[in-house]
Amino acid sequence: MTAPSDRRFEGRLAAAVDGLDGRRVVRRDANRILVSKFEDGFAAALHASLARVPELFELRSVEAAYGAVATAQTTLRRVEAWHLALAQLLAELGEARGLTREQQAQVLAGIDSVAALLDSILWSEPGVGDDYAPHSGEEDAYREAVARMDATPGIFTRFYGIFAGARVENHCPGAPFARLLLAQAWTACTGWPPPA
């Protein structure tokens, strides 16, 4: 049977997120209530899938995949080329390493998110054939995005409010990998190391 405080919490959460939509409490302490819309074990399974495709996190592999797409499709914007390159690399590696379509889709969702973030950072929309160096405003935007990733709560954390003195939050289980993907995407797309 659900305790009255649990029912109250579920009612507040439902109001905050327009219905519980399958979210459940993952962890609770005096300061924080962590909720998730994913089933138990999802984060561990996602991390296991990512471990099977380490090339997605190796700059040399990322730059080679980006270079191949940029050479073949010279009309793309640099962020589009990176996004397509990572999606292709994931498909090739995922199939060879036995990742299901669902597992690949879960990884691709993170790549999509990083591409959207990078697209907002590289606002000058450089093309793959353009003579380009990052603008100072783009460097500032990158630093701001990284600071938001490192903040508590971070860019990949959704805050629903306070319940019984505890923060109610939902974290993206792939957030630890997003920062690395963003740094590599910046380098591949700009040809420069990420701004410090």
- Residue 115: the pLDDT is 95
pTM for this model (two decimals)? 0.77
Residue 113, C-beta contacts closer than 8 angstroms, at least 6 positions apart = 156, 172, 174, 178
- The pLDDT tens digits of the residues spanning 109-139 come to 889 999 999 999 999 999 999 999 999 999 9
More confident residue, 189 or 11: 189
More confident residue, 75 or 16: 75
In the predicted model, is pLDDT for residue 63 greater than 90? yes
* Closest C-alpha to 142, from 196, 188, 80, 189: 196
